A = this chain, B = another copy of it.
Amino acid sequence: MTGKLSEKVLKGDTVATARVLRLIDDGLPEAREIMKKLYPHTGKAHIIGVTGAPGAGKSTLVTKLIGLYRRDNLKVGIIAVDPTSPFTGGAILGDRIRMQDHGTDPEVFIRSVATRGHLGGLSKSAWEMAKVLDAMGKDKIIVETVGVGQDEVEIIGLAHTSVVMLVPGLGDDIQAIKAGILEIADIFVVNKADRPETNRMVRDLEVLLEMAGLKEREWTPPIIKTIATRGKGIEEIREAIENHHEYLKRSGKLEEKIKAQREKELQNIIMEMLREKIFSRIDKEKMDKLIEDIASNHKDPYSIAEEILSSILN
């Protein structure tokens, strides 16, 4: 079965792809067998990360970018990482529906990933999904996240080109974007640029980049002002994304990035397999006994862990 599924994915079959993504999402073992077959066919797509605080306008930007890419006949895949919330279900669903402007286009594949219940981490799941879309033959893959958690920073860190969206005047506390984001941003977008605080924000950002020494690097992140809802500035973003991609290829940085990602992937896969193997070797009864020893303060978990490892490792 897994053989047929992967063949269909390689041919660009949408239904088969959706099924494989579901297997990954559910953390099922078949997913791994399929990934083995798809893996050699990956590495061709340009992976673009888009992040920003809730309400920054990420979905609007992504929808407009899809439109531009489709005009050039490029195949597009979207992985949208959603903070699943009972408090915001409506708003986020709305965003997704808006994106469905492109829902009937067979060359646009959109998939939402909920930010919970991911065995081995959300970052791993999102990344594997992007790989599937890569194997499927998409030219541009956009991974969209809310830039607030460590997971999200990690996901965006895996993209080739990272776009960070900011909005002027949302108040300091909303812009609680991690420091890590600044370092991984390749392009800054100041959205809703008709707000009065826009120019101050652009200036602040320039000062920050200067202080962080980012202006002396080979690639200086451009700061692009947009009004995404009106489509203003979207062409500039597309161009900046292309420029960055060209820069990556020209400088050899793309190869470096891909290599670093593959190393990280291998490490993650090793750790995931280890987790399965280790905990399947310790039976429940023995585990309960160990926990009791710890709970009664007879033993500390560090010494127990050392004992377990020395019995398992060569």
Contact = CB atoms under 8 A, between A and B. Distances in A.
A74 interface: no
Contact of A270 (B114, B291, B305): B305
A208 B86 contact: yes
Nearest to A118: B150
Interface string A239-273: 00000000000000000001100110111011101
Interface in A266-299: 266-267, 269-271, 273-275, 277-279, 287, 290-291, 294-295, 297
A178 B313 contact: no
A115 B178 contact: yes
Interface string A6-32: 000000000000000000000000001
A301 B122 contact: no
Chief secondary structure at chain A's binding surface: helix
A303 interface: yes
Contacts of A151: 149-151
Nearest to A175: B87
Interface in A146-164: 146, 148-153
A179 B279 contact: no
B174 A174 contact: yes
Interface in A294-314: 294-295, 297, 300-306, 308-309, 311-314
Interface in A127-169: 146, 148-153, 166
Interface residues of A, number: 81
Interface stretch (A33-41, A98-106, A192-200): A33-41
Given A54-B173, A54-B176, A173-B55, A271 B273 contact: no
A85 interface: yes
Nearest to A306: B273
A229 interface: no
B295 A171 contact: no
Contacts of A146: 148, 176
Contacts of A43: 295, 297
A294 B266 CA distance: 9
B308 A270 contact: yes
A82 to B, nearest CB: 9
Given A149-B152, A270-B309, 17 more contacts: A35-B300, A43-B297, A83-B148, A83-B178, A87-B176, A88-B173, A90-B172, A149-B150, A150-B150, A262-B295, A266-B304, A267-B279, A269-B305, A270-B278, A270-B305, A273-B305, A274-B274
Interface of A: 32, 35-37, 39-43, 54-55, 83-88, 90-91, 114-116, 118, 121-122, 146, 148-153, 166, 171-180, 182, 208, 212, 258-259, 262-263, 265-267, 269-271, 273-275, 277-279, 287, 290-291, 294-295, 297, 300-306, 308-309, 311-314
User: Ordered nearest first, which 6 A-B pairs have the shortest CB separation?
Assistant: A149-B149, A54-B173, A39-B300, A55-B173, A40-B297, A91-B172
